[in-house]
């Protein structure tokens, strides 16, 4: 069979299997097994040898050790009430502004993102903590859900990010090492956070009913000195943890894996200092870490096997010839790849998208002489948007699971649309101004 036919058939089978609801990790491995056998004439020993090599490659990847450590750090922080204390202080400091409580959510999620690396913890924590406060003050339901979902997704982009660890482990390139990806993600994450901040401020200034301030009586309960003392007290612990992780990576003191170990230790100390460290908390955090790590690793093995079979039967060359041989400009090829990722993000998990597309796209990017770090960060921002895009945006369902009764799903969908537009604006800015991505890595690592 021709590589062109096998390429179309392989992706078609994968799409049908996923649409039927089969587990993604096993679907990737199963489809790879089927088409690997067809392509090599049912040479079972050769295919099993390829599978074993892929499994060993995943287990032998030192970078991936950071995944359970960062997840454990996030799980402990989620239970240590760091976000709760920070929101309570910012509620007082920013609450007197129009849209102030929404701004407080964005700031908390930005700080929390820099200490967790996953989105579930941020969206669920802020959904439980901030939704009642915003609705009690008369905030628009759609705006409330949009703020929490969008700001919560910053956890997958702002380092230390699990997605960056997976991406760095996939490519094996110096330009897209985990350290470079972490450094490259800082400014894009702050740009998106700033866009959310400005949108809330402008919208609530134009239409104060969407985000009214707290009452003057409530605002006068605390002096300016008390407000700032509370804010500093709640900000110092997470900032210290951020410095412990990101400071050691950017300063060249520790590798991302070593920094992940420091972060897990720091989260342990924070939970202990906040008197939240119990055997039950440790048990829950450990089980959650094991479950999430097992899921990511199974996806990684299935995805690596899928991409290995796909490339071995010439699928990568088919895609490269289609895009490069079409005579399209470099910008057009990049735009097509971004569109593919955006559409896939509406239906497929981010890890599977990375595992399937990166081994196919990266050789094309290198052949086009495009900066792989710049392209990688555009991919990651694009994938962050996938958490917000209906029908299967994970952040939307995380929020729906903790939202008060009577929160209609259509209200959540409507509320998130302006933030999806902001994501696309941010993505465009990063595409047009590559320095927003490449400046920090060149400053710290000379790359």
Residue with token string 């537009």: 421
Model pLDDT for residues 256-303, shown as the tens digit of each residue = 889 999 999 999 998 888 888 889 989 998 998 898 888 888 888 888
Does 46 map to a domain?
no
Per-residue pLDDT, 439: 95
Residue with token string 């917000």: 388
Q: Find the range with the poorest average confidence among 38-42, 115-119, 281-285.
A: 115-119
Does 300 map to a domain?
no
Per-residue pLDDT, 338: 94
Tell me if residue 137 falls in helix, strand or coil.
coil
More confident residue, 7 or 193: 193
d(CA 15, CA 246): 38
Q: Find the range with the poorest average confidence among 19-23, 368-372, 426-430.
A: 19-23
Does 165 map to a domain?
yes
Taking alpha carbons only, the member of 144, 89, 148 closest to residue 113 is 148
Does 295 map to a domain?
no
Model pLDDT for residues 377-405, shown as the tens digit of each residue = 999 999 998 888 877 778 888 888 888 87
Model pLDDT for residues 203-246, shown as the tens digit of each residue = 999 999 998 988 877 777 787 788 888 888 888 888 888 888 88
Cβ atoms within 10 A of the Cβ of 402, count? Answer: 16
Per-residue pLDDT, 20: 83
Model pLDDT for residues 43-55, shown as the tens digit of each residue = 788 888 888 887 8
d(CA 29, CA 267): 35
d(CA 72, CA 286): 7
Helical (H) or strand (E) element with 331: helix 330-345
Supply the DSSP string of 245-276, one letter for each residue.
Answer: IIIHHHTTSS-HHHHHHHHHHHHHHHHHHTT-
For the chain, what is the radius of gyration of the CA atoms?
22
Whether the predicted pLDDT of 41 surpasses 60:
yes
Per-residue pLDDT, 53: 84
Q: Is 147:196 a contact under the CB 8 Å cutoff? A: yes
d(CA 229, CA 224): 9
Tell me if residue 42 falls in helix, strand or coil.
coil
Model pLDDT for residues 351-367, shown as the tens digit of each residue = 888 888 998 899 999 99
Contacts of residue 400, defined as CB under 8 A and 6 or more positions apart, other chains included, come to: 407, 409, 412
The domain of 422 spans 61-277+313-445
| Long-range residue pairs from 440-444, CB within 8 A, at least 24 positions apart, any chain | 440/183, 440/184, 440/186, 440/187, 440/250, 441/179, 441/180, 441/183, 441/184, 441/373, 443/183, 444/179, 444/183, 444/250, 444/251, 444/252
d(CA 305, CA 26): 11
- Section 191-203 average pLDDT: 96
Model pLDDT for residues 300-313, shown as the tens digit of each residue = 888 888 888 888 88
Burial category of 273 from C-beta neighbours within 10 Å (exposed 0-12, middle 13-18, buried 19 and up): exposed
Does 352 map to a domain?
yes
What are the tokens at 145? Answer: 């859900």
Per-residue pLDDT, 447: 57
Quote the DSSP letter at residue 213: P
Contacts of residue 75, defined as CB under 8 A and 6 or more positions apart, other chains included, come to: 121, 284, 285, 286, 288, 289
194 confidence band (pLDDT: 50, 70, 90): very high
Model pLDDT for residues 436-446, shown as the tens digit of each residue = 999 999 998 87
What are the tokens at 134? Answer: 């915003």
Tell me if residue 399 falls in helix, strand or coil.
helix
What are the tokens at 252? Answer: 């060249």
Instruction: Work out how many domains the chain is built from and give that number.
Output: 1
Q: What percent of the chain has pLDDT over 90?
A: 31
What are the tokens at 151? Answer: 């700001």
Does 10 map to a domain?
no
Whether the predicted pLDDT of 99 surpasses 80:
yes
Q: Is 184:258 a contact under the CB 8 Å cutoff? A: no
Mean pLDDT over the full length of the chain:
87
Does 116 map to a domain?
yes
Q: What percent of the chain has pLDDT over 70?
A: 99
159 confidence band (pLDDT: 50, 70, 90): confident
Does 269 map to a domain?
yes
Per-residue pLDDT, 421: 95
């Amino acid at each position: 069979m021709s590589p062109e036919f096998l390429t179309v058939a392989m992706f078609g089978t994968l799409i049908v299997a996923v649409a039927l609801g089969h587990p993604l990790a096993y679907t990737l491995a199963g489809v790879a097994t089927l088409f690997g056998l067809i392509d090599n004439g049912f040479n079972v020993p050769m295919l099993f040898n390829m599978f074993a090599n892929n499994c060993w490659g995943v287990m032998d990847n030192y970078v991936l050790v950071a995944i359970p450590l960062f997840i454990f750090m996030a799980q402990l922080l989620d239970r240590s009430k760091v976000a709760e204390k920070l929101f309570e202080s910012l509620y007082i400091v920013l609450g007197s502004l129009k849209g102030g409580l929404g701004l407080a959510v964005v700031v908390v999620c930005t700080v929390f993102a820099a200490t967790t690396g996953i989105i579930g913890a941020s969206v669920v924590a802020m959904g439980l903590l901030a939704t009642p406060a915003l609705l009690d003050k008369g905030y628009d339901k759609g705006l409330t859900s949009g703020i929490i979902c969008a700001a919560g997704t910053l956890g997958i982009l702002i380092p230390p990010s699990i997605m960056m660890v997976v991406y760095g482990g996939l490519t094996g390139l110096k330009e897209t090492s985990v350290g470079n990806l972490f450094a490259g993600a800082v400014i894009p994450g702050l740009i998106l956070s700033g866009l959310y901040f400005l949108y809330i401020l402008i919208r609530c200034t134009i239409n104060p009913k969407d985000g009214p301030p707290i009452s003057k009586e409530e605002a006068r309960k605390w002096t300016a000195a008390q407000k700032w003392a509370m804010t500093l007290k709640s900000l110092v612990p997470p900032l210290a943890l951020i410095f412990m992780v990101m400071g050691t990576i950017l300063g060249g003191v520790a590798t991302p894996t070593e920094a992940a170990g420091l972060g897990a230790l720091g989260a342990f100390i924070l939970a202990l200092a906040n008197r939240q460290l119990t055997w039950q908390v440790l048990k829950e955090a450990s089980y959650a870490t094991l479950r999430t790590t097992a899921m990511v690793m199974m996806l990684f093995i299935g995805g690596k096997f899928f991409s290995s079979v796909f490339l071995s039967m010439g699928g990568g060359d088919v895609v490269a010839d289609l895009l490069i041989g079409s005579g399209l400009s470099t910008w057009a090829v990049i735009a097509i790849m971004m569109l593919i990722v955006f559409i896939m993000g509406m239906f497929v998990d981010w890890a599977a998208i990375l595992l399937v597309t990166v081994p196919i796209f990266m050789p094309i990017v290198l052949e086009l002489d495009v900066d792989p770090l710049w392209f990688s960060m555009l991919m990651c921002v694009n994938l962050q948007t996938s958490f917000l895009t209906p029908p299967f945006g994970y952040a939307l369902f995380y929020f729906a699971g903790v939202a008060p009764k009577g929160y209609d799903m259509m209200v959540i969908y409507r509320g998130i649309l302006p933030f999806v537009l902001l994501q696309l604006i941010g993505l465009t800015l990063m595409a047009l101004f590559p320095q927003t991505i490449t400046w920090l890595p060149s400053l710290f690592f000379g790359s």
